[in-house]
Structure 1
Amino acid sequence: MSAEPGDRPSPNDPSWAAAQVHPGVRAAAAWTWRLLILAAGLYALGKLFLFAQEVFVPVAVAILLSALLVPLVGWLERHRIPRSVGVLTAVVATFAIIAAGLTFVVQQLIVGIPRMSGDIADSISKTRNWLETGPLHMDSENLRNVSNDMIDWLKAHEASIATGALDTATVATKLVTAALLTVFLLIFFLYDGHRIWEFVTRIVPSAHREHVRGAGDAGYRTLQSYVRATVLVAFIDAVFIGIGLAILRVPMVMPLMALIFLGAFIPIVGSVAAGSLAVLVALATHGWFTAVLVVVVLIVVMQVEGHVLQPFLLGRSVKLHPVAVILVIAIGLMVAGIVGGLLAVPLLAFANTAVSFRPQEGLDQDWLLEEPVDVSGGENP
């Protein structure tokens, strides 16, 4: 049965113009302006992060550390230790380990770099001789000038290379301030995180408040799994690569292990960068053959990590596609440098779970978000 002429929209009707547009074009336009608004919002958030990074970076680091230490605090509390004591114990032990590790690595750098400069000078001389007498037959005078300049620069700057980054009072002051702020925030996140989260979510309309809180719980649980697995994977990578470097007698094994451990927190990109530095050190001090062996060690360890450790430790709940990881790391590096690259993947893991959260999943409260249990007999403050 055909429609009556009177049922058709009139050109004067506002719906008539919309009806002339193909549905696919309307859908594309709707998606476009929404994506543009989202992109503008992300850009504004990135600029805000850069403007106040002295505050936001400690907050982010404290959240990551809280995700790592929450199980320890919960375990201590289940063993009848007051929550306040458990929180202080976990925080003091963590920062004592970090401080001891950094002190040891810095000492190794101060001792190792001057020693390594002599090996690099020998490698430069050997390379120059090969370029002169080998199949390339390059001009000896130019090569000699370049190599001598490099050797002189190394000898003149070996002390500043080892200690220059630590001599700037401004940098030291910022690091101390950030560390103190991180410790302060970490203590309160571990002890009173549930009240902080409830207070923050009060800005959400009451009709959606419980859903947002549940999504935050789910995202934080994913963040816990990600941080714990990343720390374990980074430790295993550093140990086994360090064993390989020690067997090959590559200098500065401990500093390289520390860099490999830290690099693992930036998936793919960080591991490649830290591994490349180890290869360069081996190349400069022991030549091509040792450098190739270091590459073999790195490939074997990275394959075990990618195909065994990460799938087993992370599981499907934190699994992210490599393309998404690379893109989000690139965006993080462009927006906030190394700090942005470090925080990009944990943020993506959190957002991936929080956005897909459904209330019927019925997730239990997390140790960070649950009401603290007072085992001392008094009331909670």
Structure 2
Amino acid sequence: MTSDHGTPPLTPRPDPVPASVRAWAGWSWRALVILAALAAGLWLVAALKVIVVPVAVALLLTVLLSPVVRALQRYVRLPRSAAAGTALVGLIALVAGLLTLAGRSIVNGIAELWEQARSGFDELLTWLSEGPLQLGTGEIEDYLGQVQDAAASSGQQLVSGALSVGVTVGHVAAGTLIALFCTLFFLIDGRGIWAWLVGLMPRGSRERVHQAGRRGWVTLGAYTRTQILVAAVDAVGIGIGAAFLQLPLVVPLAVLVFFGSFIPFVGAIVTGSIAVLVALVTQGWVSALIMLGIVLLVQQLEGHVLQPFLMGHAVSLHPVAVLLVVTTGSLVAGIVGALFAVPLAALVNTVVLYLHGHDKFPQLGVDDHVPIRAKGHPVLDRAVAAAAEAESEARAARGEGSAHGGAEGTTSGDDSPVTP
């Protein structure tokens, strides 16, 4: 076929780049942009860790204390601010009591531990000289002299380490104050803060963001309460084993295991190994092996019974995913990353699934709409905003739920993020 002037039509040249290569290139540059954004976000979080970490701790404390605040409002008829202050003071008193009990036990048992450690060291020297190694007295003294020289040469490092510890203690003290301050105001006005944050979103996406946030908040609450229970079981189990073996410092070991167990899988093993070391130093390798068996038994109970049964559908992270997340968090941010990696992953998993059409908590329903606050949503009438907040406070005080029922102990008016 030719045109009116007799010239053949132009045919497009074939694209030298295959379509598959173009598709891969498109995915590649998008992935690079996402990775760059994640790297920038991690850098910003690391730069502001003195603020970010206390706020993250405050969120965990808020989701933990929110049921207590609601109970005080409902049964004791306390105002919201008084209920929040009472719950926070009670938590501080509980933690201070545990630390005081552990400190007294350390003071009372350190002398016994020292004597047992000296006895164990003497037995070790006897085994080195009379056991299979048959080391002479001169060789043992040479080894001990090398250890003393190494300790003396590292004196300067110890001084610099002490200075860094002083700076760390200052950061911890400041972070503790920030966390307590944020927790108090999250408990008092959490719903208003969430309303302001949702108000920053585009108007068409506010409702979906609010509903996703509700479900993420329920997941965070389920994880926090479950992890406390799991940590308590770990501490009691290892503490009973240490008491059965009549080890010194049973209470401090149990408290250490309790706080260490907030890092899933890894924390209880690391802190439990300290109990094994105490058994080895004070009573020998037989007691150490028994203590090791107790620690492994408790870990099997946690990993195969408690974690799947208690967390279940609310968190629904595979154990392999939990282990990888904890490892990644520890590599990126050390102990802080290991502590917050799993709750962050569980929250992100729930939110992303909801935004993609998979609701893990359909029983929450969608009756609880975006919380209204005049300052957070200036386009709304102030009278409507005030009436909505008053109704929300009344429902929280009565403990009423939505027509769809609650989930994980939440009510429809109280399952928004940072909500008392």
TM over 0.5: yes
**Alignment correspondent of 2:393:** 372
Residue 193 of structure 1, CA deviation = 1.1
1:36 to 32, 45, 48: 32
Q: Structure 1 length as normaliser, TM-score?
A: 0.83
Q: CA deviation at 1:68?
A: 0.8
Question: Which is greater in Rg?
Answer: 2
What residue is the counterpart of 1:102 in the other structure?
99
How far did 1:114 drift? 4.6
Map residues 240-255 of structure 1 onto 2, 5 A cutoff: 240-255=237-252
> Structure 2 vs 1, CA of residues 364 and 105 (structure 1 numbering), >3 Å: closer, same or farther?
farther
2:383 corresponds to: none
Following TM superposition, by how much is the alpha carbon of 1:211 offset from its aligned partner in structure 2, in angstroms? 1.3
Residues 87 and 98 from structure 1, CA distance in 2 versus in 1: closer, same or farther, beyond 3 angstroms? same
Name the structure 1 match of 2:58: 62
Partner Cα distance (2:137, 2:64) in 1:
57
Give secondary structure in 2 for the equivalent of 1:251.
coil
The structure-2 alpha-carbon separation of the partners of 1:6 and 1:106, relative to structure 1 and needing over 3 Å to count, comes to farther
- CA drift of 1:318 comes to 0.6
Give the TM-score of the pair, scaled to structure 2.
0.76
Q: Once the two structures are aligned, what percentage of the paired residues are identical? A: 41
Q: Which moved more, 1:145-154 or 1:109-118?
A: 145-154
Amino acid at match of 1:236: V
Runs of at least 5 residues in structure 1 that lack an aligned partner in the other structure: 155-160, 377-381
The correspondence of residues 1-381 of structure 1 with structure 2, limited to 5 A, is: 9-11=12-14, 16-17=15-16, 20-23=17-20, 25-79=21-75, 80-147=77-144, 170-358=167-355, 361=362, 362=365, 365=368, 371-373=392-394
Shift of the 206–133 alpha-carbon distance from structure 1 to 2, 3 Å rule, reads same
Structure 2 distance, partners of 1:152, 1:231, is 44
- Could you list the per-position Cα deviations for residues 286-316 of structure 1 after superposition, in whole angstroms to 9, with x for gaps in the alignment? 1100011101111221222222222221112
Q: Indicate if the aligned counterparts of 2:70 and 2:397 stay in contact, CA closer than 8 A.
A: no
Greater Cα shift, 173-182 or 290-299: 173-182
Change in CA separation of 1:151 and 1:234 when aligned onto 2, cut-off 3 Å: farther
1:243 aligned partner, one-letter code = I
Do the aligned partners of 1:81 and 1:375 also contact (CA within 8 Å) in 2? no
Which deviates the most, 47-56 or 32-41?
A: 32-41
The SS at the match of 2:393 is: coil
Alpha-carbon distance in 1 for matches of 2:262, 2:291: 21
Equivalent residues of 1:121, 1:151 under 8 A apart: no
Greater share of residues in helix: 1
Residue in 2 that maps onto 1:379: none
> Quick check: 2:62–2:187 contact (8 Å CA) kept in 1?
yes
1:158 matched to which residue of 2?
none
Contact 2:263 2:339 in 1 (8 A): yes
Please give the alpha-carbon distance, in whole angstroms, between the structure 1 residues aligned to 2:164 and 2:111: 17
What is the CA–CA distance in structure 2 between the aligned matches of 1:148 and 1:252, rounded to whole Å?
Answer: 31
Output the aligned Cα RMSD.
3.2
Q: Is the 8 A contact 2:234 2:302 kept in 1?
A: yes
Number of residue pairs matched by the alignment = 356
Deviates more, 1:133-142 or 1:183-192: 133-142
How far apart are the structure 1 equivalents of 2:107 and 2:237? 24
Mapped partners of 2:286, 2:366: distance in 1: 54
SS class of match (1:372): helix
Deviation at 1:233, TM superposition (A): 0.9
Conserved in 1, the CA contact under 8 Å of 2:269 and 2:299?
A: no
**Cα distance, 1:88 vs structure 2:** 1.3
Partner of 1:157: none
CA deviations over 1:236-288 (Å, ceiling 9, x no partner)? 11012101101101111111111111111111111211111111111111110
Indicate how the Cα distance of structure 1 residues 171 and 84 shifts in structure 2: closer, same or farther if over 3 A, else same.
same
Q: Given residue 253 of structure 1, which amino acid in structure 2 is its aligned partner?
A: V
CA distance 1:198–1:285, shift in 2 (3 Å): same
**Pairwise CA distance, 1:152:** 12
- Report the CA distance shift for 1:71/1:129 in structure 2 as closer, same or farther (over 3 A): same
C-alpha separation in 1, matches of 2:103 and 2:11 = 80
Deviation at 1:148, TM superposition (A): 7.3
